[in-house]
Amino acid sequence: MHIYVAGNITVDETWQCSALPHKGESLHGEKIMVDTGGKGANQAIVLSRCGLPVTLIAGRGNDHYGEWIYQQLQAETLQLFPETPLPVHTDTSIIFTTNDDDNAIITSCDAASALETATITALLETARPGDVLVQQGNFTPEKTRALFTCARSKQMLTVFNPSPVQEDFRQLWPLVDIAVVNEHESRLLQPDTVHTLVVETLGSQGARLHAHGHTEHVPAVPATVVDTTGAGDTFLAVMLASTLLRNTRPDALALHHASQAAAITISRPGTRLAFPSRATLAALLAQAG
């Protein structure tokens, strides 16, 4: 079984400033962190640290940030597709944070958009029945639909985390086996109106599993919050890994494993740098509940 995560990879620059800048204003700030990010990359990295074979399908640009991302990923066990960079700028998120925990984020998606649907479907044509396709919300609804349709034709398991949310994603649920949504996405897209397994995350309140007409709540693991970036991605990846490694469908144990991993991520600064290590994840996934 092989997991394909189709999405984005970014460079996350975090800036600390006294206040968020207003229109026309120049401020001094401090660049406190540079890390790889992007929901596709985050989920692929954590899945691979769980010991699963993963291909991250994400375009990067032919600039110094694209090369930097490539070097950073050498420390991980995942495969990156395409191997060569695209003739665009690498996607970047500029995160402004203030001392009172306010933030504002600007993010680009040129590289994610430049990776053509046909290039991705050509790769998915090599997938086998039982392989997995995971997507997030960084592609257009049309591109997202085309990839899920291709995956279904190959009898792959499909997993959708529609973040950032777009209203037209609502049409895609019939192509999805497992939906992973936060409360806002759940309200807007209503995945439970079709026959989909739904995992709904509730921040510090934990998560709910809606399956076969039943709902189960799994509480969050108490944590000292340092930086919540990547919490949802850690949760999704560990929930899915726990499920796949036990050859089952999402259950309370998978949500419990995921909650523990997410609590580790939020207790540390950064994105990739905050994710639990392979050893930590192996110990956590070995817990029987």
Q: Which residues are catalytic?
A: 233
Among 189, 207, 238, 254, binds ligand ATP (CB under 6 A): 207
Asked if residue 225 binds ligand ATP (CB under 6 A), the reply is yes
Strand partners, 200: 181, 208
Minimum distance, C-beta of residue 109 to ligand ATP, in the bound complex (Å): 16
Sheet holding 103-107, edge to edge: 29-37, 10-17, 92-98, 103-107
Single out the residue of 78, 115, 220, 254 in contact with ligand ATP (rule: CB under 6 A): 220
Residue type, position 79, single letter: Q
Closest distance between ligand ATP and the C-beta of residue 180, in Å?
Answer: 8
The set of residues, in sequence order, having a beta carbon less than 8 Å from that of 267 and lying 6+ positions away, is 223, 224, 225, 226, 274
Find residue 34's DSSP bridge partners. Answer: 13
Under rule CB under 6 A, residue 132 binds ligand ATP:
no
User: What is the three-class DSSP state of 244?
Assistant: helix
Q: Residue 96 forms beta bridges with which residues?
A: 15, 104
Q: Is there a cis peptide before residue 174, judged by omega within 30 degrees of 0?
A: no
Smallest distance from ligand ATP to CB 214, Å: 18
Nearest to 152 by CA among 170, 166, 138, 132: 132
What tokens were used for 226? 């340092």
* Binding flag, residue 178, ligand ATP (CB under 6 A): no
The annotation status of 41 as a binding-site residue, yes or no, is yes
* CB closer to ligand ATP out of 177 and 227: 227
Rounded to a whole number of angstroms, the minimum distance from the CB of residue 272 to ligand ATP is 13
Residues that bind ligand ATP (CB under 6 A): 163, 182, 201-204, 206-207, 220, 223, 225, 228, 230-233, 235, 259, 262-263, 266
Which parts are annotated binding residues?
Answer: 10-12, 38-42, 182, 201-206, 227, 229, 232-233, 265, 268, 270
